[in-house]
Amino acid sequence: MEALDYYHHMTSNEIKILVLGRIINRNPFDKGVPLPFSDTLHKAPPEKRKTILEDCQLALSMALFNKNRAGELWGLFENVYSTIVSNPQDDINKIFKKLNPILVNQSDFDAISLKYFISIVKDGVQ
């Protein structure tokens, strides 16, 4: 109890950020393409790749900092993580298809930004 009296504790949000940071194992806002996302990005026309990557990063930041939908993000994260762990050889497209559609529909992600999120988690798990 003394820790609480002196504010030497972590909130649940701080713990969740640490867990997510540990799994991702990188700054999700750094420039660069996660390796599992490379094939998906290279299918886009070269002149649109930078915009697609920036849109994915923006969607990720919006999802991470949307306090009103934090529960939905954590449910989706858990589903993504467990699907990756259960199917380590699957690419991001196969993982995307195996996700719980209810969690996907409740998320702040569109299909391409969700694949970006999956690739970041997959990159962190590997």
Which 3 state secondary structure label does DSSP give 104? helix
User: Can you give the pLDDT at residue 10?
Assistant: 63
**Tokens 């094939």 correspond to what residue?**
39
Burial degree of 96 (CB within 10 A; 0-12, 13-18, 19+) = buried
User: Can you give the pLDDT at residue 65?
Assistant: 81
User: Can you give the pLDDT at residue 74?
Assistant: 87
Number of domains in the chain: 1
Q: How many CA atoms lie within 13 A of 55 on its CB side?
A: 13
Q: Is the pTM of this model over 0.85?
A: no
| Average pLDDT by stretches of 10, the chain with 126 residues | 56 64 62 86 94 92 85 90 93 96 92 94 82
* Domain enclosing residue 76, as ranges: 2-125
Contact 37, 96 (CB under 8 A): no
Residues in the chain, how many? 126
